[in-house]
């Protein structure tokens, strides 16, 4: 399991660092896990795409104001759940939305929960991955550094394998809608299906001004 210190960094740093890590959920039904292949960073009070924009503190956002490494789970459309990892030290309400996983463990359990056969569709979106892993309201606030819901090391990715684009479904955000805060593994067939305008704008290596490692 990743230590608390791993999460105590800004969301824009944590989001690409989570790619290649394994999200694991242990339940009475069994264990399901997937490699994180797509994330989005939400950077708190200055980010008008974030739930904590303007310092908003509600019962829903309260876990964001604690230290990084806890689960922020929220519902959408009255039927789906979205899983986020809280980032940054206490007092800085930043999170990383996990948008897609590559199934690794518990494939049959995921299929029973989702009713889908192709592995590429089981976790290719925030709501899908939560259903496949059995994540919902009950997992809000769980410590991600300990069972039953946790993140562990799995694969290390060089910056040239990480693609970057604007975030999806935040057209309401006037200031931040075009920020390059969505990160995904280039070429992965497990990322969520999004409009073409969210194709990679660059790689993380290019954004950092680095040459690909040889």
Q: Say how many domains are in the chain.
A: 1
Q: Is residue 110 part of a domain?
A: yes
Q: Is residue 126 part of a domain?
A: yes
pLDDT, tens digit, for every residue of 39-77? 999 999 999 999 998 998 998 999 999 999 999 999 987
Q: Are strands 80-87 and 22-27 parallel, antiparallel or unpaired?
A: unpaired
Phi-psi region of 37 (alpha: psi -120 to 50; beta: other; left: phi over 0): alpha
pTM: 0.93
Of residues 30, 189, 37, 176, the one with CA closest to residue 118: 189
Determine the pLDDT at residue 36: 98
Q: Is residue 16 part of a domain?
A: yes
Determine the pLDDT at residue 210: 53
Owning domain of residue 123: 4-157
The Cα 134–Cα 20 span in angstroms is 20
Q: Is residue 173 part of a domain?
A: no
Q: Is residue 186 part of a domain?
A: no
Q: Is residue 125 part of a domain?
A: yes
Q: Is residue 143 part of a domain?
A: yes
**CATH code for position 86:** 3.10.300.10
Residues of the chain predicted below pLDDT 70: 210-214
Determine the pLDDT at residue 92: 96
């Amino acid at each position: 399991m990743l230590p608390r210190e791993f999460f105590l960094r800004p969301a824009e740093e944590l989001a690409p660092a989570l790619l290649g890590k394994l999200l694991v959920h242990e339940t009475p039904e069994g264990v399901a896990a997937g490699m994180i292949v797509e994330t989005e960073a939400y950077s708190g009070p200055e980010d008008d795409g974030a739930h904590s924009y303007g310092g908003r503190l509600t019962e829903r956002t309260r876990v964001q104001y604690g230290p990084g490494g806890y689960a922020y789970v929220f519902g959408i459309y009255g039927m789906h759940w979205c899983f986020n990892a809280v980032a940054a030290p206490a007092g800085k309400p930043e999170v990383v939305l996990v948008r897609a996983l590559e199934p690794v463990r518990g494939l049959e359990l995921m299929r029973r929960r989702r009713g889908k056969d192709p592995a590429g569709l089981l976790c290719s979106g925030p709501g899908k991955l939560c259903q496949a892993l059995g994540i919902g309201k009950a997992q809000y606030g769980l410590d991600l550094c300990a069972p039953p819901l946790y993140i562990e090391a799995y694969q290390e990715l060089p910056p040239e394998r990480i693609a970057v684009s604007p975030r999806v479904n935040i057209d309401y955000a006037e200031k931040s809608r075009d920020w390059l805060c969505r990160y995904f593994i280039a070429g992965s067939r497990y990322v969520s299906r999004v409009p073409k305008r969210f194709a990679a704008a660059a790689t993380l290596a290019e954004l950092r001004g680095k040459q690909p490692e040889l």
